[in-house]
Amino acid sequence: MAAIHDLECRGVRKRFGAFVAVDGVSFGIPSGSFFSILGPSGCGKTTLLRMIAGFEEPSEGDILIKGRSVLSLAPNRRNVKLVFQHLALFPMMNVAENIAYGLRCKGVARGEIARRTADVLERVGLPHAGSKDIGQLSGGQKQRIAIARCMVLDPDVLLLDEPLGALDLKLREQMKIELKMLQSQFGTTFVYITHDQSEALVMSDRVAVMNHGRFEQVGAPRELYHDPVTAFVAGFVGDSNRWPGRVLDRDPAGVRVETDSGLTLAACEAGGVLRRGDAVEVFVRPESISVTGAQATDATDATDGSGEHNRQAGRIEGTLFNGANSRILVRTSTGEQVEADLPQRGPDIGFENGAPVVLAWERTGSKCFARAGEDPAG
């Protein structure tokens, strides 16, 4: 038998009337890892989380914690704790009472409660906050108290329902790192759900990308970013240029695609074998495109999708300055708009608006997927 997972879902399905919110999801999370479920709002991730916590009952399938089915257990009997989206700290109790609540429910002795409360406050870095009212805490502190309130109970799995959503950007960046640190410090399995891909990629050991109630792909952040297996994952994780088109022909190394606006590209099949004439979508990451300056005269000759490399001529339409992540917008001669990373090296080589440039990228940089809805597999 395989190693026992902290949390395992087997074919979990949830229907609300005719609507299928979660459609046959199966996964196992090994002990002590940080697992994220990433998906747009309405993809079913919250429903899945609520089923794990016991607030919803699956229509089909099984949920196991530490190898034992928990379907027959009420929410208050499951050793799965949940950090709510808006944290749900009890406003009528102070910090210490909030943390002690779960221990008191368990019937832990008074002295032991005080000791463990102080201990967990120490671990989340707020050793003197016990007597504070919830209203006196900052957003980041509330976050840590919400986690402490769960962690004091030694859960098998900690579920987090987009807890960073309400924070401002600066604090969110900081809390990402802090959450990751807390997780490795406690060594508890975290299941984190979010619609923010950067949260999922930065913090997680493994990420499941969810769409329409299904897992599209489960893998390490690096895999999802570099080797997406579906068009949805390619489009949802990270930024991409995205063009619809059709397969012109194929060869052993990949396919040649003509986009709807007439651009010819060399691409590789990332999501299964394609046939000639298939409707496809091509994804190219901005960082895989290299930009070089060009004379206006040779720019037209440079357009070439016939070899192993893609070369496209165009003119700069605008610059999106964002420090190290700056981009330029290029309009190709066929009229496509392409986003590419602004080269960081050397002096500015004249990337002004209207300047002619040549864009070049490897065939493996353009990933080609059958267009959603026309995929023969479903």
Partner 1 sequence: MNQRSIRRLTLFMLLAPFLLWIALLIVLPHAGIFTLSLREKVAPLVYTVGPGNYLDFFREPIYWNTLLRTASFSVLVTALTFLVGFPIAYYIAKIAGRRARGALFLGCLIPLWVSDLVRAYGWMILLRETGVVSSFLQWTGIVSVPVELLYNDATVVVGLVYTVVLFMIVPLVSTLDGMDNSLIEAGYNLGGNGLTVMRRIVIPYAMPGIVAGSIVVFMLTAGSYLTPILLGGKNSMWFTEQIYEQFITRFNWESGAAFGILLLLFTSLTVWLGLRLSGQSLASTVARNEA
Where on the chain is the footprint of partner 1 (CB under 8 A)?
A: 53-55, 74-76, 80-82, 84-86, 88-93, 101-102, 105-106, 133-135, 149-150, 153
Could you tell me the maximum CA-CA distance found in the chain, to the nearest angstrom? 83
Distance in angstroms (rounded) separating the CA atoms of residues 283 and 371: 11
Closest CA to 56 of 45, 68, 67: 45
- Would you say 151 or 282 has its CB closer to partner 1? 151
What one-character DSSP code corresponds to residue 252?
Answer: T
The residue among 168 and 374 lying less far from partner 1, judged by its C-beta, is 168
102 or 213, CB closer to partner 1? 102
Complex with partner 1: residue 21 or 153, whichever CB lies closer: 153
Tell me how far, at minimum, the Cβ of 81 lies from partner 1, in Å: 6
Comparison of 102 and 365: residue with beta carbon closer to partner 1: 102
In terms of Cβ atoms closer than 10 Å to its own Cβ (0-12, 13-18, 19+), residue 253 is exposed
Which tokens hold the place of 307? 């070899």
Residue of 313, 372, 305 whose CA lies nearest to 338: 313
Shortest CB 292 distance to partner 1, Å: 54
**What does the alpha-carbon distance between residue 288 and residue 38 come to, in Å, rounded to a whole number?**
24
CB of 345 to partner 1, least distance (A): 50
Nearer to partner 1, 99 or 247 (CB): 99
Q: Which is nearer to partner 1, 97 or 287 (CB)?
A: 97
Asked if 367 and 231 count as a contact pair (C-beta separation under 8 A), the reply is: no
| Distance of closest approach, residue 159 Cβ to partner 1, in angstroms | 9
Phi, psi of 182 (to 5 degrees): -60, -40
- DSSP-H helix ranges across the chain: 45-53, 95-106, 110-123, 139-151, 169-186, 197-203, 221-226, 231-236, 296-302
- Least Å distance, CB 162 to partner 1, is 12
Nearer to partner 1, 98 or 183 (CB): 98
The closest of 93, 169, 188 to 132, measured between CA atoms, is: 93
Distances (CA, A) of 55 to 21, 69, 83, 370: 15, 15, 14, 38
- The DSSP H or E segment spanning 207 is strand 206-211
